[in-house]
Amino acid sequence: MDSDTASKTQNSILEQPNEPLMFEAKTIPLKGIGLVALQDIPQGTLIIRERPLLVARPGAPGALEDFLSSELKKLDKASQRQFLSLHNNFPGKHPFAGIMKTNALPCGSGSEIGAVYPTICRINHSCLPNSQNTWNSDTKIETIFAIRPIKCGEEITIMYDQGGPSTVRQASLKQSFGFKCSCVVCSQPPALLRESDARRSRIQQLDGQIGDPFQMLKSPEKSLKDCHSLLQVLKAEYGAYPGALAARLYYDAFQISIAHGDKTRASIFAEKSYQARLMCEGNETPEVKRVKMLATNPSNHSTFMAYSSKWKNTKKEKFGEDDNEAFERWLFRISN
Ligand SMILES: C[S@@+](CC[C@H](N)C(=O)[O-])C[C@H]1O[C@@H](n2cnc3c(N)ncnc32)[C@H](O)[C@@H]1O
């Protein structure tokens, strides 16, 4: 499909059809079609809100093809054309399944159910994306928010893979999407790429340690310290815009604190998680609303004092928020 056709197909399922679009679909060298910003877009801006064309579970190619074929017949002609015009990395016997496999985005984190969209599915991948896709399970709408400032003329990008060092990312992108990534991270000089790889491996390692319930139970100080270390690595790798990774880290720190009874820190961590999430997905998703509620009432969480009451706040703790470093050390219980 050429970029003209792509531009014309944009509006039907978009939720903000009357507003001037912040982007245009055009051909990008070596990437097919992509979306390019038509204006400067500040961090935290909602760029696209779109309903799915089709939703499906993964399945054997033949069975998936039959399912998609019957679902396609239920769509109007314009929607059918939009679906059929999407990129297919797996041409052959099962073209509908190939389109789905190339384009589907999960309906929620970790969900095996995927959906395709006429516009959002034109967004290409970067290992340092400037935007994030999020599924809202209440409204059944997918959103794209700017997670860092985007300059007019810059391509809008999201992240397709699970992260990790460049060799792992490259292999996964090649296998699932058929391209060799040459984004700003992957095309760095070898020495810088090695440093980035070391940070991304460390991020995965720390993430695993923080998620370990035994460490959280037996050595919550260590878990919080890991959260603090992760924050430093995220800042080094992603600069001022760690996006959803920061939201998750703060939520983990919330869970560690509340499980041992520390409502004061838990409330601060929940608020930080909320603020980070707000930038990535707005204030409409059930998850964002829940984290906001927990910032106000941390003890409403089901694990309040589930592990111990050793951090239960007995008196109002004083902390000086003016001295950033001291505040961070207090918050993450770093003693030396
Ligand atoms: C969901 S589609 C994105 C839109 C697609 N470029 C198009 O023309 O419709 C995914 C496909 O786009 C291409 N693609 C996405 N990101 C890319 C990148 N960073 N470099 C090269 N190709 C990319 C790959 O062919 C991939 O399988």
Q: Give the model confidence (pLDDT) of 239-257 as tens digits.
A: 999 889 999 999 999 999 9
Q: pTM of the entire structure?
A: 0.93
- Ligand 1 centroid distance, CA of 176 (Å): 11
3-state SS track over the chain: CCHHHHHHCCCCCECCCCCCCCEEEEEECCCEEEEEECCCECCCCEEEEECCCEEECCCCHHHHHHHHHHHHHCCCHHHHHHHHHCCCCCCCCCHHHHHHHHHCEECCCCCCCEEECCCHHHCEECCCCCEEEEEECCCCEEEEEECCCECCCCECEECCCCCCCHHHHHHHHHHHHCCCCCCCCCCCCHHHHHHHHHHHHHHHHHHHHHCCHHHHHHCHHHHHHHHHHHHHHHHHHHCCCCCHHHHHHHHHHHHHHHHCCCHHHHHHHHHHHHHHHHHHHCCCCHHHHHHHHHHHCHHHCCCCCCCCCCCCCCCCCCCCCCCHHHHHHHHCCCCC
Residue ranges, CATH 2.170.270.10, the chain: 3-177
Task: For residue 169, report the distance from its CA to the centre of ligand 1, in Å.
Answer: 15
- Ligand 1 atom at minimal distance to the Cα of residue 30: 21
Q: Which two tokens stand for residue 294?
A: 């927990």
Q: What is the Å distance from ligand 1's center to 210 Cα?
A: 33
How high is the mean pLDDT of the chain? 93
**284, HSE (Cβ side, Cα atoms, 13 Å):** 16
Residue ranges around ligand 1 (CB below 6 Å): 30-34, 86-87, 89, 102-103, 121-122, 124-125, 177-179, 181, 183
CA–CA dist 36, 49 (Å, integer): 16
Identify the residue whose C-alpha is closest to ligand 1 atom 13: 31
With a threshold of 0.95, tell me whether the complex ipTM lies above it. yes
Residues of the chain with pLDDT under 70: 1-18, 318, 320, 336
pLDDT confidence of residue 16: 58
Q: Which atom of ligand 1 is nearest to the CA of 28?
A: 6
Hey, what CATH topology would domain 3-177 get? Beta-clip-like (2.170.270)
CA of 147 to the centre of ligand 1 (A): 20
Gap from CA of 119 to ligand 1 centroid (Å): 13
Which of 36, 53, 87 gets mutated to test ligand 1 (max ligand atoms within 8 A of its CB)? 87
Distance from the CA of 121 to the center of ligand 1, in angstroms?
9
17-39 pLDDT, tens digit per residue, is: 457 789 999 999 999 999 999 99
Atom of ligand 1 nearest to the CA of 33: 8
> What pLDDT, in 10s, does the model give residues 55-98?
999 889 899 999 999 999 999 999 999 999 999 999 899 999 99
Residue 8 confidence (pLDDT): 39
124 CA to centre of ligand 1 in angstroms: 5
Give the closest residue (by CA) to ligand 1 atom 23: 31
Mutate to test the pocket of ligand 1, among 24, 124, 144, 159 (most ligand atoms within 8 A of CB): 124
* Residue type at position 227: C
Task: Give CA–CA dist 287/296, Å, rounded.
Answer: 15
